Amino acid sequence: MPDRESRATDAPESDSERRRRRARFLRELAEARALRDRVQPRRAKAARLRHAMRMRTFRW
């Protein structure tokens, strides 16, 4: 029965660990995007303009 008990106690921890890993991934992704925008400002501006155009023409 110890296996069943460990599984019951691991479930909340695995969920919090998943959230922690996801938060770290999203932080690193945002950092990578910021770095890319600093390194390639022209491409970043073009991407911003394309995104703005997409959002303007999007229908709800």
In this predicted model, what pLDDT tens digit does every residue of 12-39 receive, in sequence order?
678 999 999 999 999 999 999 999 889 9
Nearest CA to 26 among 34, 46, 48?
A: 34
Q: Choose between 5 and 29: higher pLDDT.
A: 29
- The phi, psi pair for 59, rounded to 5°, reads -105, 135
Residues in CB range of 44: below 8 A, 6 or more apart: 36, 37
Residues in CB range of 29: below 8 A, 6 or more apart: none
Q: Confidence band (pLDDT; 50, 70, 90) for 4?
A: low
pTM confidence score: 0.54
